[in-house]
């Protein structure tokens, strides 16, 4: 037996003492889909517009090698898929339309065929697709507003965009036979103190109603509304606040709330909100990210919030009820590395949660044995998690140790550095 296997055997025994079957956990984790966002590869630029990024989001950094075309982005995604363990879905933004017939279509007139390249890509890897209308980075964003704009023609344009996206989500789901999460996020809001906080929200509500009047199969298309507390240049007011989106979802059957853990006040934690929503909703969605001071989109790490979020999903037996998607963009380091660190971190968090003796710990809580609960939770932290992670990577045929980053470096040398 080689050294790694010996180490794994030891870990397996350790976890068996906690009545955790590591082999079973590895098999289960490999089946859990996590949505990999397409927009880390090109700093959220997309293919359909030269307008600068808007909506209160921003990428910083100019590390060389960003994807400049559909081909380059697909190549880069392939690399990320190759070096990360676990089942994926791909999360596509509407701004990533690939006009194969050479004819440009504006966002209000997009058709399913404009995303055939994505469907082909998904079929190549046997993965599902999720989708997002793109309400930013476009000349029809007026004074920072889209679906909430007082200008009817602006609103109309974006409603048409939303409807087109419902049709595209239907197309994804029917082509791939996997549900398509269709996430609505708008950056609409104000930099400074508004005089009317209600009218934009009423318009947002009405616009969403109009968009979702477009027909879709609720078992296969999962519309979500994502909230946000503020954006860059949109500091004083965001129309799609947490209360707004939660109540929209609660009052519209089939619509899911989406929580992005970068979209709350800095001391709020999304892990506590997950069970709160699970008490009311059959299904919810997440954007997994890492907020740092003013920014909501740093690369996901295996940190406390990430670990606790995964625990809330796993120990509440909600892996089948929570649609998990990554959402971050870092242009200051190698983008393939950033993408992969984020994906691997969430995989680690899920694995860690699955290697926690959740039933035992819950029983301690129910029995009021809080001292013992604390002691046990601390002991588990030093269990040989790394050995199981290595074995999981091995079985997924990806490198577990530092070696995977060598692949990132060679790809940078051979491919990315030539993009000038």
Site string for ligand RNT, 89-108 (x = CB under 6 A): ----x---------------
Q: How near is the Cβ of 169 to ligand RNT at its closest, in Å?
A: 15
Which of 146, 296, 356, 400 is the binder for ligand RNT (CB under 6 A)?
Answer: 296
Q: CA-CA distance, 86 to 32, in Å (whole number)?
A: 7
Tell me the sheet residues that pair with 290: 298
Give the residue among 76, 182, 191 at the shortest CA–CA distance from 132.
182
158 assigned to active site: no
Report the partner that residue 132 touches, choosing among Zn ion, ligand RNT, none (CB closer than 5 to 8 A by kind). Answer: ligand RNT
- In the block, residue with structure tokens 């690399």: 79
Residue 287 makes contact with ligand RNT by CB under 6 A? yes
Residue 157 makes contact with ligand RNT by CB under 6 A? no
Residue 260 makes contact with Zn ion by CB under 5 A? yes
Out of 48, 160, 226, 412, the active site residue is 226
Site string for ligand RNT, 229-268 (x = CB under 6 A): -------------------------------x--------
Collapse the DSSP code of 35 into the 3-class scheme (helix H, G, I; strand E, B; otherwise coil) and give the result.
strand
39 assigned to active site: no
Q: Which residues have a Cβ under 8 Å from the Cβ of 25 and sit 6 or more positions away?
A: 351, 354, 355, 388
Strands 295-298 and 290-292 turn out to be: antiparallel
Which of 20, 57, 286, 349 is the binder for ligand RNT (CB under 6 A)?
Answer: 57
37 assigned to active site: no
Q: How near is the Cβ of 37 to ligand RNT at its closest, in Å?
A: 7
297 assigned to active site: yes
Burial (CB count <10 Å: 0-12, 13-18, 19+), residue 255: buried
Burial (CB count <10 Å: 0-12, 13-18, 19+), residue 11: buried
Nearer to ligand RNT, 40 or 352 (CB): 40
Tell me the sheet residues that pair with 181: 222
Give the residue among 304, 347, 308, 311 at the shortest CA–CA distance from 326.
347
215 assigned to active site: no
13 assigned to active site: no
- In the block, residue with structure tokens 């709350």: 264
Residue 287 makes contact with Zn ion by CB under 5 A? yes
Report the partner that residue 307 touches, choosing among Zn ion, ligand RNT, none (CB closer than 5 to 8 A by kind). Answer: none
Report the partner that residue 44 touches, choosing among ligand RNT, Zn ion, none (CB closer than 5 to 8 A by kind). Answer: ligand RNT
How far, rounded to the nearest angstrom, does the alpha carbon of residue 316 sit from its chain's CA centroid?
Answer: 20
Strands 237-238 and 189-190 turn out to be: antiparallel
Out of 205, 222, 263, 348, the active site residue is 263
Residue 163 makes contact with Zn ion by CB under 5 A? no
Q: Do the beta carbons of residue 311 and residue 346 sit within 8 Å?
A: no
- By rule CB under 5 A, what count of residues binds Zn ion? 3
Residue 146 makes contact with ligand RNT by CB under 6 A? no
Q: Do the beta carbons of residue 129 and residue 93 sit within 8 Å?
A: no
Residues that bind ligand RNT (CB under 6 A): 39, 44, 57, 93, 132, 185, 226, 228, 260, 287, 296, 327
- The residues carrying an active-site annotation are 185, 226, 228, 260, 263, 287, 295, 297, 327
């Amino acid at each position: 037996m080689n050294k790694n296997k010996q180490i794994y055997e030891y870990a397996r025994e350790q976890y068996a003492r906690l009545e955790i079957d590591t082999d079973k956990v590895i098999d289960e984790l490999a089946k859990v889909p996590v949505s990999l966002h397409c927009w880390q590869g090109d700093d959220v630029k997309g293919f359909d517009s030269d307008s600068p990024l808007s909506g209160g989001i921003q990428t910083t950094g100019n590390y060389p090698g960003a994807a400049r075309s559909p081909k380059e982005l697909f190549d880069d995604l392939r690399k990320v898929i190759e070096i990360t363990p676990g089942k994926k879905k791909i999360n596509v933004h509407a701004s990533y339309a690939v006009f194969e017939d050479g004819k440009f279509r504006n966002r209000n007139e997009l058709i399913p065929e404009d995303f055939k390249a994505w469907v082909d890509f998904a079929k190549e890897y046997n993965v599902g697709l999720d989708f997002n209308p793109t309400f930013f980075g476009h000349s029809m964003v007026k004074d920072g507003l889209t679906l909430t704009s007082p200008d009817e023609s602006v609103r109309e344009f974006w409603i048409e965009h939303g409807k087109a996206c419902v049709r595209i989500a239907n197309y994804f789901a029917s082509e791939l036979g996997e549900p398509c999460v269709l996430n609505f996020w708008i950056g609409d809001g104000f930099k400074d103190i508004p005089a009317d906080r209600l009218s934009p929200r009423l318009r947002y509500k009405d616009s969403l109603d109009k968009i979702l009047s477009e027909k879709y199969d609720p078992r296969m298309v999962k519309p979500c509304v994502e909230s946000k507390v503020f954006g860059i240049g949109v500091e004083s007011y965001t129309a799609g606040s947490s209360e707004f989106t939660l109540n929209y979802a609660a009052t519209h059957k089939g619509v899911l709330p989406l929580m992005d853990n970068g979209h709350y006040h800095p001391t709020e934690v999304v892990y506590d909100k997950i069970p709160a929503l699970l008490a009311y909703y059959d299904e919810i969605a997440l954007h997994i990210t890492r907020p740092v001071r003013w920014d909501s989109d740093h690369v996901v790490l295996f940190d406390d919030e990430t670990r606790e979020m995964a625990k809330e999903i796993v120990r509440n037996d909600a892996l089948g009820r929570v649609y998990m998607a990554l959402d971050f963009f870092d242009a200051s380091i190698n983008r393939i590395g950033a993408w992969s660190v984020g994906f691997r971190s969430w995989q680690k968090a899920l694995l860690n949660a699955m290697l926690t003796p959740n039933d035992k710990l819950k029983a301690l809580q129910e029995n009021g044995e809080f001292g013992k609960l604390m002691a046990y939770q601390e002991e588990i932290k030093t269990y040989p998690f790394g050995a199981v992670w290595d074995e999981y990577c091995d079985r997924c045929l990806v490198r577990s140790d530092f070696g995977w980053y060598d692949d990132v470096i060679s790809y940078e040398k051979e491919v990315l550095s030539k993009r000038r």
